[in-house]
Structure formats: structure tokens, C-alpha cells
Structure 1
Amino acid sequence: MELADRLETKFRLDANQKKALNKLGLFSVHDLLFHFPARYSDVSKVKLITELTPGETATVFGKISKLKTRKGFRSKIPMAEGEIEDSSGKIKIIWFNQAYLAKMIHSGENVKLTGHVTKGKYGLYLANPEFERTPDISIDAHNTLFSAKNEKESGKGFSYPIYHETRGITSKWFYHAIEKILREKTLDNIEDYIPEDILKKYKLPTLKTSLIWIHKPKNMRDAESARKRFAFEEVFCIQLERQHDKFEYRKNKSFQIKADEKDKEEFVKRFPFTPTNSQKKSVQTILEDMGKSFPMSRLLEGDVGSGKTAVAATASYMVVKQRPNGQGFGNLQTAYMAPTEILAIQHFESFIQYFKHLPMNIGLITGSGCRKFPSKVNPSGWTDISRAQLLKWTANGEIPILIGTHALIQKSIKFKNLALVVIDEQHRFGTAQRRKLVRKDNIGPHLLSMTATPIPRTLALTIYGDLDLSLLDEMPAGRKQIITEIITPNKRNETYEKIREELKNGRQLYVICPRIEEPDPTKEMAVQAKSAIAEAKRLKKEVFREYEIEVLHSK
């Protein structure tokens, strides 16, 4: 069996299985090998059904049967019920208010259930157990699988892999398919793309060993070692790609910006606040970068309110006050790209405040229209202009500062002497977009990316390895600190009371949920998370009855 072999040529697949594998993006033997388990289930603590006692929370392993849905006789609560059987006996299982589980689990499947052992009118049953599908291991295997001997040999007890599934393909299928691939020695000639000296330095297993360990670990230490290797590999490849991008971008020439300390200080004095030390340091570093013969690539990280826009405005000022190379007239240009139209308008208004004392044109281009500052009629304000007029003025250099959304990198927008590009929120602007801004004469603009996302330094250097990093770790005087907290369930009511006090003072609250609607119970892979619609109903009914609660979403 070869890595490039199509799955349908090596495995018997029906139409549903082919469709399921295609949905998961699995087409070849290679794809299947790199479809890693989502987690492992440790069955060393599994009990025999005959050993269960009322009141305990226990885990059992076996085959499920007699699944059906019904409603409580008096309560009318919808429920799913069935039986699970192992080598020692059977026990009833009941899921209250989860009738949909009868459609998700099928009779005859092997599962691991963990639930509360309850004594009912007709005997013991497992109440609302959590379930995991398992490989097709004989239910008579308890005596060997869960023995002390097996636990000692495997480290933490027998573990089986649980894979990301979709309708038509289960972990059981993956388990046996991987078994077949490994049995046919498909990995014997696989090439490891991480150099041997790096593997030794970081004590990482080879690619062949890692693939075996991640699918068939003898113990959890093996599985963790394999995951560590693949995590390292991912970061390693990202860093290589970023360093290559950085090296390639530096092959371009740039406009060298000559920093005039006196001019900079005069501009900064007009700020309505005193710059922090981190702002001063960041401005100085940026000016040093822009004075070099190759384009700057820098990421400016700082929390909301830390003064990133002021740093960008200072850098923009030092750029646009300079003449193009060898000319006694005109200005170099700055493009400022914001992620949304609202933010673009906010930055346009901020730049007007920073530059209103200077004879400097500032343009705004969004999907809704174009503006220019200053207006000929009202020099202290802006005016609406046509898109064609703005593009013309930008192309001939009459607009030194242009602010907008992604419209800035459309082919229709031409700059005469673009020397600096400022990107608000780096994750929305990649290497491909940056290349579009390089001129035909290989002069690339300096790049200043900004983000309020609190990225740890080591992670930032990995993800944005093509950018140098500056950090704004101070707040200007008078700014309130932004508080981020994780609230545990036992402190939720206390938090609601604090929120209620803020609401009484006329303030507002918004709650963000990962889903719009409740997940479809018939879809096994649906993300089980809070929905905006259900949470709004709950808050209105149970918590903030006296306040208006509305729902806003993309649908």
C-alpha cells in the first residue's frame, strides 16, 4: 500500500462512506494517516455491570440495544432509553430531556457510558450518562483489558482512539482502517521532513514512530510524545514560511525616511495627552526601521486605549512630510487600512484632529462613499467627493494620507509614492495582499501592522515571524484599565448582581455566544455550545426580567 493510493482502491467503501470521507477531506492513504484522533478514552476504570452499586458515578463498556424514545407518564418529559450489556450482565440507561440521543446512537454499537447509578422502581439504571463510541472490541474482553496486569503494562490503562466523525464513518471504521495500513508496512519508506539533528535536539520521535504512536499508543506517554512532535512540526513550518516571506520582502527597495527629531516633537506636542514611554520607544523603533534601505515589517501590539493610533499617526506624519526621492515637490503617501467601515471612519476623524493644523489632504474610501479633508467650503471640516475624483487625486499624489477598508488594495486604486501602509488588525492582511502593494520598480512600502489581540510574545513571534514586534504595555494617563476575567459557575449569580448595578446606572450589556441557534440534535458533529437565541430567552426569563433584551445576528 502506497501513501498516494486512493482510499476506494484499498478499502471496500459504500456510497455513504465515500461521501463521509470526502466531507472530512480524506481521499488518500496519506490523508487517512494524518487524520489524527481527537482524543483517547481510558477504559482502565471501567466496571462490570454486576459490580455497580446505587449512588455511585460509574463507567461501563459494552453493546447498546433496545433504544427508543418516550415521554414520562406524569411529567411528560421527553427521554431516550435503552440497555447496555457487557460480559457480566445488562443495565437500563435513561437520558432525560435528551430524546434525540436515540437517533444519534444505534443499537448494536459499542459504547463507553459514564453516569449516575440510580435505583428505580424496576431496578438499577444509568441516569443521563455521557457516551463515547468505541472500536469493535469484544465485550468479553473485560477480564484482560481492564486487569491490573494490562494497566501496569500500558502505563495508564488501555486507551482507544476517538476520531472526528461524520454520518457514515465512525471511530470504529478509522480504527480498523489504520490497523490495515500499519499492518501492510506502508510507513517503512516514509520520509521525515524534519532534520535528524533537530529531532535529537528537542527529543522528538521520527515521523514513522509518531504516526504509529498517535494512532496506536501503548500508553498515554506515547500519544503525548507524538502530539508534541506534530505540534512542533506545525510551528516549525509556520516559522520557515514566515522567515522566507520576510527574506523575500526585504529584497525590495524602500523609501528611506529621514527622521527629524524636532519635527516629531512638535507634532507630538499637539496630542491631547502625554505619550507613554512605550509609545515613545515604539515611535523611535519605527523611525529607525523606516530609515533603512529595505521595507520595514513591524507588528505593534497594544490593548484597546493604549495609543496605537497615535503611534501610527506620528509615523504617518514623518512619512508624508518628506519629498519623494530626488524631487523638490510632492509628498510621500500613507495608506491606513481598517477592518471595518465604522473603524475606518473613526480613524479618519482621529487623523483630522492630529493633522488639522497642517496643509495636508486626508482621504477616506469605503463601500459607502468617499470623503476628503479639508473641504474648500469649510476648511475645518470634511466634504463628500466622488470616487473617481478621489482615485485621481490619490494617483497624482494630491492625497498624502488615504484611509479605508480592504478597498485600498483594489486594482483601481493607484498610489504615486506609497511609502507606508498601516494595517489595523494584522490577521486580516496577509503576505499576498502585501505583495500587491509593491510597485513595478520593486519599491515596497514600509508595513506597520497593529493588533489589540493580547498575543503572548513567543506566540506572536511564531505566527507573525515575518514581522518585528513592538509592544505598548502602558496606558496613557487617565485611561481606565480594561478588566478581563473568567467567571466560574459558582460566581455567576454574584456577577449578575454586579451587572444589574451597572444597568441601574444606565449602562448596557452585550453577551456574545458562539452559535445563533441551538444545534440540530440529528447532527452528531454539531458544536455543542450556547446559542444567542436560547441565551437571550434564558436571561430574560431567569435573570434580567425587568430589562429589555434583544438579539442581533447575521441571519
Structure 2
Amino acid sequence: MIELFREQADIPLSSPRLGLTKALCTKLEKLGLRSVQDALLHLPLRYENRKDLITLGSQEGSYASHIRVIATSYIGFGAKRTLKAQVVDAKLHAGGKAPVPVDLLCFGRQFLARSLKEGAEFWFYGKVQASSYDGRLQASSFELEAYRKDQIPKAFGYRQAIYPKVSGLSQAMLGRIMKKILALGLPLLKEADSPKAPEELQGLSPERAFRLIHSPQEANDAERGIRYLAWWELSLYFAELEARKQARISAGISLHQGLQVLSPLSKKLIQSLPFKLTEGQKQTLKDIAHDFKQPYPMARLIAGEVGSGKTLLGLIAALPYIEAQKQVAFLVPTSILAKQHYKNASKLLTPLGIKVALLTGATAPKEAKEIKEDLAQGVPLLLIGTHALISKDMLLPRLSLLIIDEQQRFGVQQRASLIERSKAHNPEQIAPDLLLMTATPIPRTLALSIFGDLEFSAISEVPHGRKSIITEHIDQSRARYLTEFLAKELDKGHQVYVIYPRIEEGDAEKTSKLKDASSMAEKLSAYYKPHRVGLIHGRMKREEQEQIMQAFYEGKIKLLVATTVVEIGIDVPNATCMVIEHAERYGLSTLHPSSTQSSG
């Protein structure tokens, strides 16, 4: 997230400058609000129009009304001591017209009997609707404030921001607190040179935008404020990207100087492959070769489908560094993916005399110690690992290339931390080269915007001979066909994924036809015996998830029931089919990675 405020905006809400009691701060903390910055970014859910007057009874159906009303003759208590009163539009009443009456049902507000006297005038805001019994207009949820001529009302005459509720805090109280926070926090907004705002946002500033959001005056104020803040945040983001890129370029020195992508070992590896590189892979190698000619660290993002050969390109790119007695780290998000890469890399690189090491949270302490000693001593190798590589006790003094697979699974700060620590322990004090990989399809123009500090390569084709994926829509009328098809696949010895949109059935959804992973895992397990059925979802511990994925990877689990937590990029060639139930519940960004789990 881009920081919109200076560091001073981290003022706790308990600061004496705000004058909030400890009890109020505790209630605000339930909303996740601990600092001035938190509160300013706590945007309203909606707005109540207490500014524009509406003629009472002029609209059909249920509507919110802000109006000046006058109480008429019908006042008293009904069933269960419920105070009932009747009001009419004061303006129409004064003009001698016949206004439409509205019955007020004052549940639990007997105290209003003292003020709701015949002829008394009020400002009124509430939801008015026709009674299902007799069609008369009535309101049970409303606010009243005594009308006094030539006096501005306290709770009316403006648009009120409505924030998420918390017990013990009224909207009026939240509004008063927000006014204090706006006064203290807005001067702490970052000052940044931004490009000219779009025409419809001209005249706005970050401070003005926040005021429009929290205290709008006109109908479109809040929308304009939100649009301006979105534009301003993007401007800061692009400015940060450009600054990051310029800092990298201005370094004027790199760890790839004198290296060639097609080194002797790289050529040997390519020649040993039982297939030819695709045109997309060849072009990406040319892109990396171009980076090698630059006098500053490489930072490139490679996008391509699962099975398009990104990992192979990473191994080819790593060889020139290791030949030059340098170290390469290959960072992946999960242990099972790390083991998969380690297995494949060892098969390809060990015959070339390259040392490949694996470091995850499950690595034995003795083995982990030996790996760390090799790293500290500068032994040239390829280290494949998970978040264990990011730990503070990791020393990588000879790290020259950092490869990150499924880069979207790692935070920018995690990446930056590893690079900075490597740079600090590097004798030359030079940042390592960076190669990022993703299987998420990113249009080139979007990639250049979002990853503006990186160079971009796209592999749009898959290796020759790979079978095409058949995508088929099957409705409920063909459910039996699908059931029998899966049975045949399992009987052939193949494996299957079945994806559901939710983990288990909620109380509010018992009458829904939406299927869930937990109950369906039980049903499928009974139906497809003796084939073993597994279940994986986001509420499981990470270790448990990895154990299940490992069992599926090893073929012990034949049918894997899952939510979208199922691992991306895992190569299970024996998995030939994926069923996505209730596909309409997913966006394309979810459906795509879910449908590309295996390169089989």
C-alpha cells in the first residue's frame, strides 16, 4: 500500500491532542482504528441526505425523508405502551393545504411524549413507508429535533456520513470525533509533485478530497473525493515506481558485468533438453541478454502460463552466475513447490557439476546449518527455498541473482528486505539482479503500469506437443454424465480436482443450493470408493495444507476437493481433470490460476 501520510500521522487516538477518553478509544479500536491515519482512511459506508427537503408523502414506497413537520391532534399510547403520534408537512400545513399525515411509532421512546404536543414543530429524518395493514404512511425509525425559527439545527441541514457501527458509539458521536481527527490529521498528508488532475477533478487537493468524503455538502461530493484520492494514490505509486527504477539505473554498476546468458554451461543445458525452446523462451533469453549489457542491476518480470517454461529459463539464467563463482537464490511460496523445483533443478544441473541446495522450514537443523555455512563462505550454488530464505539469520554474501516464482505471493517489503540484506553483506555493496515469474495473465500495457519499475517479458506459447486444454460447461441436466466421466478418469489411474466456492454450509445458507467443499468431500468420498478423497481449504494450518498437497502430488490422494486455496503452479501430470462448481461465483482472475494447476 502506498503511504499517503507523513510518519507523524501515526498519532494514537489516545493522544491528549484529541481529547478522547480511554473508553472511546477502546470502542474505536473495535473498528480497527488506533491512529489518526487509521481513522481518516475509515471511509463511510453511505450517506444520509439531511440537507435537501422532501415533501412528506410525495414519494411512493419506502423512502428516507428530511422535512420540517408539525404534530397534529392524534397523540397517545397504544399496545405495549408504544407512543403513537401523527405529524404532517409543516410547510403544507401552514399554506392551508391538506398534507398527508404520517404516524410515528415510538417504540421504547416514551420520553418523546413530553415534547410531541399538538402544534409542536420539529425537524424530521426517517424512513417513511406505507403500512401493510391499512396503507397509511408510518415511520418507526426516525430522528427528531425541535424546530426553532432562525436557528440552525444541529443534526440537520447537511449530508451525514454513516460509518460501520460499533456498540456504544452513535453516528452523531462518530461524526464529532471525525471532525477532531480531520483537523489534526489533514495537515499531515504527504506533499508530492503530482501530474495535472483530470478535468473533472480540477480544483481538488488531497485535503479537500478527505473533507468531501467525510463531510460532503453536495450529492456528488463524496464520489469526487474518492475518485480524487484514487487518482492521487496512483500518482504517488507511479512516482515511487519511477524513483525506484531511477535509483536502480543510477547505481551504474551490476553483478552481471562480463557475463553472457548463453555461457558454456547454459549452452550445454539447452543442448541436453529433449525438446527445443519455444520462440517465446528464446525471446525472453534475448531480453535477459539485453539486461546483461546494461551497467545497472537487472529487474525483469516473466509472465507465462503454467508449463510455458519459465522455471527452465530461470535455471538457464542462473548458470552464468554460478560459473562465475556466485550464488543464486530461487524463492518460492510453499515447501511442496520448492521440493518440486529442487527435484527438477537437480536432475538438470547436477550432471553439469552445479551444486543445488534446498532450504525450507522442514529442512533438518544439521542440513540447514551446513547450507548456511556454505552460503556464508561464498560457495557457488543454486539455493531453492521458501520464506526461510527471508529470515534475518540468512547471510548471502555472494548472492548475485534472486529468482522469485509466483512473485505475487510475496510482499514488496519481503523482497526488498532480502535484496538489502544481500547488498549489505556483499563485498561490492551491489544489489543482486532480480528475475520475477508469474503465471497470472497480465496484458502488456497493464504490466508496464503496475510493474513500471521492472522490465517485462511475456511467453505466449507452450512447448510443442503439449495437449490443448478442453473447457466445457456442464449444467445440472448433465450432472450424471460428469459423475460417470470422473469415475472413468479415476479408474484409469488419473487424478482429479473439484473446486467449491465455500468451505462449509453457513446457517443463513441452509436453504441455498450452493455446494460447499466440506460436505461434498464426504459425499464424493462415499461415492468414489475405494479412491481416496482429500480436502483442503484456507482454514487449515499451513502445515496441514502442505501435507495434503504432498499426498496429492505423490498420487496417494486421487480426488482433491478444494476451495481456491489449492496451490498454484504445482506440477501434477497425472491430474487430468478439474471441475469448478458454481463457476459464476468466481472472477476471471480466480478462475484462470485455478484452471492451470498442472502442466500435465
Any idea what the Cα deviations from partners look like across 1:177-205, whole Å, max 9, x if unmatched?
A: 446778xx889978772447633778442
Classify 1:351/1:31 alpha carbon distance in 2 versus 1 (closer, same or farther; 3 Å): closer
Within 2, Cα distance between the matches of 1:511 and 1:255? 44
TM-score by length of 1: 0.64
Q: How does 1:201-350 map to 2 (within 5 A)?
A: 203-204=201-202, 205-250=204-249, 251=251, 253-259=254-260, 261=262, 263=264, 264-321=266-323, 323=324, 331-350=325-344
Classify 1:33/1:52 alpha carbon distance in 2 versus 1 (closer, same or farther; 3 Å): same
Matched with 1:474 is 461
Q: Does 1:173 align with 2:173?
A: yes
Any idea what the Cα deviations from partners look like across 1:220-277, whole Å, max 9, x if unmatched?
A: 5432221121112222222333333334444254232532648445432333433222
1:61 touches 1:139 (CA, 8 Å); kept in 2?
no
Matched with 2:358 is 364
Within 2, Cα distance between the matches of 1:535 and 1:86? 50
**How far apart are 1:388 and its partner, in Å?**
3.4
Q: How does 1:56-455 map to 2 (within 5 A)?
A: 58-59=62-63, 88-89=102-103, 138=144, 160-178=160-178, 193-195=191-193, 198-199=196-197, 203-204=201-202, 205-250=204-249, 251=251, 253-259=254-260, 261=262, 263=264, 264-321=266-323, 323=324, 331-369=325-363, 386-410=367-391, 412-415=393-396, 417-427=398-408, 428=410, 429-438=414-423, 439-455=426-442
Within 2, Cα distance between the matches of 1:546 and 1:302? 37
Within 2, Cα distance between the matches of 1:181 and 1:414? 44
**How far apart are 1:347 and its partner, in Å?**
0.4
TM-score by length of 2: 0.60
**How far apart are 1:446 and its partner, in Å?**
1.1
Within 1, Cα distance between the matches of 2:49 and 2:479? 38
Classify 1:301/1:173 alpha carbon distance in 2 versus 1 (closer, same or farther; 3 Å): farther
Classify 1:266/1:196 alpha carbon distance in 2 versus 1 (closer, same or farther; 3 Å): closer
Letter in 2 for 1:198: K
How much identity, in percent, do the aligned residues show? 27
1:257 touches 1:318 (CA, 8 Å); kept in 2?
no
Larger displacement relative to structure 2 (271-280 or 249-258)? 249-258
Residue number among 22, 27, 34 corresponding to 2:29 in the alignment: 22
Letter in 2 for 1:535: D
SS of the equivalent of 1:256 reads coil
SS of the equivalent of 1:168 reads coil
**Structure 1: where are the runs of 5+ without partners?**
63-81, 94-108, 127-133, 142-153, 324-330, 371-383, 522-527
SS of the equivalent of 1:419 reads strand
RMSD: 5.2
1:425 touches 1:452 (CA, 8 Å); kept in 2?
yes
Within 2, Cα distance between the matches of 1:493 and 1:447? 48
1:335 touches 1:420 (CA, 8 Å); kept in 2?
yes
1:306 touches 1:472 (CA, 8 Å); kept in 2?
yes
Within 1, Cα distance between the matches of 2:186 and 2:399? 54
Matched with 1:554 is 540
Within 1, Cα distance between the matches of 2:347 and 2:280? 22
Within 2, Cα distance between the matches of 1:210 and 1:12? 25
1:61 touches 1:86 (CA, 8 Å); kept in 2?
no
Matched with 1:503 is 486
1:287 touches 1:315 (CA, 8 Å); kept in 2?
no
Letter in 2 for 1:367: G
Q: Between the two structures, name the one with larger relative contact order (CA 8 Å, sep ≥ 6).
A: 1
Classify 1:336/1:138 alpha carbon distance in 2 versus 1 (closer, same or farther; 3 Å): same
**How far apart are 1:31 and its partner, in Å?**
5.3
Letter in 1 for 2:353: P
Classify 1:386/1:482 alpha carbon distance in 2 versus 1 (closer, same or farther; 3 Å): same
Matched with 2:77 is none
Classify 1:229/1:333 alpha carbon distance in 2 versus 1 (closer, same or farther; 3 Å): same
Classify 1:218/1:319 alpha carbon distance in 2 versus 1 (closer, same or farther; 3 Å): same
Within 2, Cα distance between the matches of 1:461 and 1:345? 32
Larger displacement relative to structure 2 (223-232 or 168-177)? 168-177
2:255 touches 2:297 (CA, 8 Å); kept in 1?
yes
2:327 touches 2:398 (CA, 8 Å); kept in 1?
yes
SS of the equivalent of 1:363 reads strand
2:201 touches 2:224 (CA, 8 Å); kept in 1?
no
2:504 touches 2:518 (CA, 8 Å); kept in 1?
no
Any idea what the Cα deviations from partners look like across 1:481-514, whole Å, max 9, x if unmatched?
A: 66899x9xxx974696675355333353443657
Classify 1:433/1:167 alpha carbon distance in 2 versus 1 (closer, same or farther; 3 Å): farther
Within 2, Cα distance between the matches of 1:217 and 1:36? 12
